[in-house]
Amino acid sequence: MAKAIPFVTLIIFFLVSTAFAQYQTGQQGQQYQQQQIQQQEARQCRIQRITPSQPTQRIQSEGGVTEMWNEFDDQFQCAGVAALRNIIQPNCLSLPNFSPSPRLVYIQQGQGLIGMSIPGCAETYHSGQQSVRGGSIRTRQGEQSDQHQKVHRVRQGDIVAVPAGVAHWCYNDGNEELVAVSVNDLNNNANQLEQKLRSFYLAGGHQQIYSSVQSPQQQQQQKETFQNVFRAFDENLMAEAFNLPVEVIRRMQQEDQRGFIVRVTGEGMRMIRPEEDEEYEQRYQSRRENGMEELYCNLKIRQYLDNPKEADIYTEQAGRINHANGQKLQILNYMDMSAEKGNLYPNAMHAPHWTMNAHSVFYVTRGDAHVEIVGSNGQTVYYDHVKQGELFVVPQQFVSSMRAGNNGFEYVAFKTSSQPMKSPLVGYTSAFKAMPIQVLANSFQISTQEAQSLKYNREHQTMLLPLRNVRSS
């Protein structure tokens, strides 16, 4: 009898353990289902009408302005994106910050320097040391020794990739305003927080938000978007962590009314700039690198999108399109985002098409165009003009077409896939051209001759179409 008791105990323990494991599995399954439902609800596109818009919120800082589009708008909720525009005055610095979602930045105007602090990558820029240039030894006099990660020169027309969680800053060292338009992909797998724009600042202070459309509750939520996370830490803990006097930490954490774009004191910031470090490639590209540096640290973060010689689609009478995708800018494969820059000549048409695997966020950089967008329910959700400075969304699978105005039309489109695929209705790669004539004739109740014209009238063109006279019977 005494030997039977341990055996019974083992059976009871096994049954209890099995039941507990099943309970845990069930709980995890319910949590997973709830997450899936939340993601599906977040991505539902209940769009009756798309409205191109200008920024609706404005944050004034000492050295510039941050303008934000209303992220609660249906079109942005559908695409799971948030857009903002930073205007940085000369000799001003956008303070270091990071975001849980990846960001693409288009430099609309001006030039400046961007730095990123990528964990695990070496500080390959050194100053205050002897260097050999042109066969002679030069020493930078009066400079403190410093080393930092690579600083990138950005200019008008550049697209810049900012991965999720990477602290970055931007300094305007030019003579005019630096205007940067950004789109965050909130639905990206890298963002495990809620679908909301967030920026975690390491310095700076919050200024007043001016909003034209939001409710007080939405304004409060927007105010929580930009906050200094360093200030909330215990000063003694930070003093120990950085091995600094408490007084220094206290000054770093004090209230700062300058905002998140600040004016640089003196004549400007001293650092090694890309154009100054002539032997950078020779010194650091030839040394033996570890896997992290080979795969990530040396990836380019920017691409010039306004180069006519590198156009991916070019039509002499209609214009050109330049792409920045995972094939050209490999860091975009990690971010699963891409961009394109379109330049349409006066009255040229961007052919009717849909994007198979991405939402598209269009920002008009110059000119105007007539845009038509048709939703999945077969109804037109937009049929009107767009002009410079406006932003609008074309959701995945929605069919759209654009015709440039008399002064031409230029745009930059941010996409939520690193390898977006378009399916045009017109041209040599069109969906109709790939179908048999009999399928088209029976689908549209037209003659075989008309179906043949439908297939081949634009067979030597694609995406960008010059103006043609439309014949009517």
Q: Please give the CATH architecture assigned to the domain spanning 307-421.
A: Sandwich (2.60)
What string of DSSP letters covers 57-93? EEEEETTEEEEE--TTSHHHHHHTEEEEEEEE-TTEE
Encoded tokens for 1 = 């009898």
For CATH 2.60.120.10, the residue range(s) in the chain are: 57-120+147-285+292-298, 307-421
- Has residue 218 got a pLDDT over 80? no
**Would you state the pLDDT for residue 221?**
57
**Under 8 Å between Cβ of 228 and 241:** no
For residue 174, give the DSSP letter. Answer: S
Angstrom distance (rounded) from CA 415 to CA 336 = 9
- Has residue 317 got a pLDDT over 60? yes
Q: pLDDT tens across 88-135, in order? A: 999 999 999 999 999 999 999 999 999 999 888 877 766 654 443 333
Angstrom distance (rounded) from CA 14 to CA 21 = 10
Highest mean pLDDT range out of 222-231, 242-251, 414-423? 414-423
Neighbours of 159 (CB within 10 A): 28
By percentage, how much of the chain surpasses pLDDT 90?
60
Encoded tokens for 75 = 């079109």
For residue 345, give the DSSP letter. Answer: P
**Under 8 Å between Cβ of 238 and 84:** no
**Under 8 Å between Cβ of 97 and 202:** yes
- Has residue 157 got a pLDDT over 80? yes
By percentage, how much of the chain surpasses pLDDT 70?
76
**Under 8 Å between Cβ of 437 and 448:** yes
Look at the block and give the residue holding tokens 């697209």: 159
Encoded tokens for 409 = 């039309």
66-91 mean pLDDT? 95
**Would you state the pLDDT for residue 296?**
73
For the ranges 375-379, 422-426, 438-442, which has the lowest average pLDDT? 375-379
Q: Which amino acid is at 210?
A: Y
Taking Cα atoms as reference points, which of 283, 423, 415, 403 lies closest to residue 353? 423
Q: Pairing state of beta strands 360-374 and 391-394?
A: antiparallel
- For residues 189 and 7, the model is more confident at 189
166-173 mean pLDDT? 95
| CATH superfamily ID and name for 57-120+147-285+292-298 | Jelly Rolls (2.60.120.10)
Whole-structure pTM value: 0.83
376-390 mean pLDDT? 93
**Would you state the pLDDT for residue 333?**
95
- Has residue 431 got a pLDDT over 60? yes
